[in-house]
A and B are shown apart, each in its own frame.
Chain A
Amino acid sequence: MLRPAERNAPSSPRFEPWTQPGNTPFIRVQGVSKAFGGEPAVTGANLDIYKGELFSLLGGSGCGKTTLLRLIAGFEVPDDGRILIDGIDMTGVPPYERPVNMVFQSYALFPHMSVERNIAFGLRQERMPRKEMNERVSQALDLLRLTPLSSRRPDQLSGGQRQRVALARALVKHPKVLLLDEPLAALDKKLRENTQFELVNIQERVGITFILVTHDQEEAMTMSTRIGIMNEGYIEQVGTPREIYEFPGTRFVADFIGAANMFGGVILRLDEQGAAIQAPDIETEVEVAHAGAGVAGMPVTVMVRPEKVRISKTAPKNQDTNRTEGTVVEIGYLGDMSIFHVRLDSGKVMQASQLNLHQDAEQKITWEDRVHLSWHPSNAVMLTL
């Protein structure tokens, strides 16, 4: 199950440069589009990323996230729009002259060179004096715990070690921006989780802006300062992991991140306090505190996360004004929590999850039980897109 962990990047208790109006973004993607053979890959992308961020581009396969990363790296040339890095327009700048480095999904280590030579490759290219180069390389070897492996060849390394070499090879160049294309996808689950934290740690220590491409929402949630969700070449929403999870901007985002109960309906009333929505799936009208712009009669979607829905056998005695009833048709036991699938009288199936707080507690709610579902208006979101 997905639980959004809030992370405060670069050591300060709150790192939110995007909230300060005076800050200029470090990387600006302005109206960038790219198509391959008439097939659009990225369409009208706009993105501002600030210095020191660990920004994730998240989306399913073919959503354009890797293309956007390659556009920033310079491997692809945008059909339209421009990309600025540290105030400099990158249009026409080839990859070997951009102040960015990339960690490839396959790591792309040079098989004919030792670990040390792989790491030193970029510095040699800069014609850096030998003394300084050796210093930088040994620092990088040290940072990534690669010193004992420095004379090995890539084919003598494990997946995790290769990943660290790829990271060292890019970091040693001290790029302004480090681009990571699915850096953890080739690692097994346990190693991936450890490496997530290690990556965040390294990012905080070196202070380099990271842009990470991933299809793994959990990875994006745990690591990022902010996430850009992509779908079919469009950037659907940009926000902190918390914003994206709690206040998704579109139906796609709500559905893509975590689990969501969604009902179609029309607006009955709308004011500052929220909206009242007539949803055919639920008999009573639904109140939503987080409503954007809209007018009465407009078709909308109501979204509420399963863990925000309370489930009980008796009518709940609480402030949750949105209520409905149904029959339990499915129970998913996940260990730390259980997910109940409840069929409402309308036929719609809703999900509600509950933490299993007591080890030996018998399951109070079981199949075919008649249950009450309730949620507070402040825990529901109205989506217009």
Chain B
Amino acid sequence: MKTNGLVARIQGKPDRWKERWGQRLVAAVPMGWLLVFFLAPFLFVLKIAFSESRLGIPPYQPLLEWVDGAVLQLQFNLANFGFFLEDPLYAAAYLSSLKMAAVSTLICLMIGYPMAYSITKVRQPWRNVLLMLVILPFWTSFLIRVYAWIGILKNEGLLNNFLMWVGVIDQPLPLLHSPFAVYVGIVYSYLPFMILPLYATLERMDLTLREAAQDLGCRPWEVMLKITLPLSLPGIIAGSMLVFIPAAGEFVIPDLLGGSNVLMIGKVLWNEFFLNRDWPLASAVAVVMLVLLLVPFMLFQHYQARQDEAEAR
């Protein structure tokens, strides 16, 4: 602001108007993007969630309808949200999704933290090479990578063949179509999203803080516990959000690797949309899931804002 004022003074006229509208324009671009590609589709889904199912195209009653060509009738159907009470399947699917997402996030954190930490310990150019390797899987299609796991986990797959060849087992283990397979798939797919924000925080951290802690009597594990871990909390939270939120709504991985043995809300949603063709109910399921996922995200936002505020002071 200071420099802006200075520029204005140098130019000889206070150009407040241009400045203000320039700022608004810059803010309008992402706002417009979110409006068109996030809010509008969400409003469509919300609208469908409150309508009634029917046979036809589209497979739902419009909310607003002209009755007898004169009266505008609003049909607001809350019944779709009753699905929770009608069938415990949905609640079970939500809970199982949240559980699977939480456990996957924890596993990602436990694998990702040491990985991110050790990458920061490696000298350049090797550090960049390791970071490249973390991102490398993205160069192959997500779908193909998940399919590849079928080849590894199936009964006559790589893993079972290897274990039998080594002689650890003599019967193939039923790895595929189990929660285990889904965990493997989620952790494998989302691990980079955990490592990258963790790496960013750990890499930025002042090394002398660790030395200072040692100097004041901390053993290496105490340094980790009292200095490194608390200071990397923003990275832990960011990474966890990036894993937890998409994992909770994951459809491809439980569908391909979990089969019918794993109940996740993403699959339920797909079934309602495409098998039952009950768009209103499916939309209601989607809205509830969004709300469920929004809560942790808003908590994160709140924490982040407080952090920024503390840093600004």
Contact = CB atoms under 8 A, between A and B. Distances in A.
Q: Do A and B bind each other?
A: yes
Interface of A: 73, 75, 94-96, 100-102, 104, 106, 108-112, 121-122, 125-126, 153, 155-156, 169-170, 173
A112 B206 contact: no
A73 B313 CA distance: 33
A162 to B, nearest CB: 13
A94 B211 CA distance: 11
A170 B211 CA distance: 13
A155 B214 contact: no
Most B CB within 10 A of own CB, among A94, A109, A112: A112
B216 A173 contact: yes
B310 A101 contact: no
Interface string B279-313: 00000000000000000000000000000001101
Contacts of B215: 73, 75, 95-96, 100-102, 170
Interface of B: 206, 208-209, 211-219, 222, 227, 230-231, 310-311, 313
Contacts of B218: 96, 125
A104 B208 contact: yes
B310 A108 contact: no
Most A CB within 10 A of own CB, among B217, B222, B227, B310: B217
Contacts of A122: 216-217
A156 B311 CA distance: 9
B201 to A, nearest CB: 13
Contact of A110 (B214, B227, B311): B227
Given A75-B211, A104-B212, 10 more contacts: A96-B214, A96-B218, A104-B211, A111-B209, A111-B231, A112-B230, A112-B231, A121-B216, A125-B218, A173-B217
Contact of B216 (A94, A106, A153, A169): A169
B228 to A, nearest CB: 11
Contacts of B214: 75, 94-96
B217 A108 contact: no
Most B CB within 10 A of own CB, among A75, A102, A110, A170: A110
24 contacts: A73-B215, A75-B215, A94-B219, A95-B211, A95-B215, A96-B218, A96-B219, A101-B215, A102-B211, A104-B212, A106-B208, A108-B206, A108-B208, A108-B211, A110-B212, A110-B213, A110-B227, A121-B216, A122-B217, A125-B216, A156-B313, A169-B216, A170-B215, A173-B217
Contacts of A111: 209, 231
B217 A96 contact: yes
Most A CB within 10 A of own CB, among B212, B213, B218, B311: B212
A110 B313 CA distance: 16
B223 to A, nearest CB: 9
Contacts of B217: 96, 122, 125-126, 173
Contacts of B206: 106, 108
Contacts of A110: 209, 212-213, 227
Q: Which 7 residue pairs are nearest across A and B when measured between Cβ atoms?
A: A125-B217, A122-B216, A108-B212, A108-B208, A95-B214, A102-B215, A96-B217
Nearest to B211: A75
Most B CB within 10 A of own CB, among A101, A125, A126: A125
B310 A155 contact: yes
B212 A102 contact: yes
A100 B211 CA distance: 13
A96 B222 CA distance: 11
A155 B311 contact: yes
Contacts of A73: 215
A250 B227 CA distance: 46
A121 B215 CA distance: 11
A210 to B, nearest CB: 15
Contacts of A125: 216-218, 222
A153 B310 contact: yes
A229 B213 CA distance: 30
B287 to A, nearest CB: 38
A125 B159 CA distance: 48
Contacts of B227: 110
Contacts of A169: 216
B216 A101 contact: yes
Contacts of A109: 212
B206 to A, nearest CB: 7
A270 to B, nearest CB: 51
Contacts of B219: 94, 96
A95 B218 CA distance: 9
Nearest to B205: A111
B294 to A, nearest CB: 28
B205 to A, nearest CB: 10
A108 B218 CA distance: 15
A169 to B, nearest CB: 7
A110 B219 CA distance: 16
Contacts of A101: 215-216
Nearest to B233: A112
Contacts of A155: 310-311, 313
Nearest to B217: A125
B212 to A, nearest CB: 4
Contacts of A153: 310
A39 B227 CA distance: 32
A310 B222 CA distance: 63
A96 B211 CA distance: 9
Nearest to B215: A102
A106 B207 CA distance: 11
B309 to A, nearest CB: 11
Contacts of B212: 102, 104, 108-110
Contacts of B230: 112
A95 B219 CA distance: 9
Nearest to A153: B310
B213 to A, nearest CB: 8
A88 to B, nearest CB: 17
A56 B80 CA distance: 79
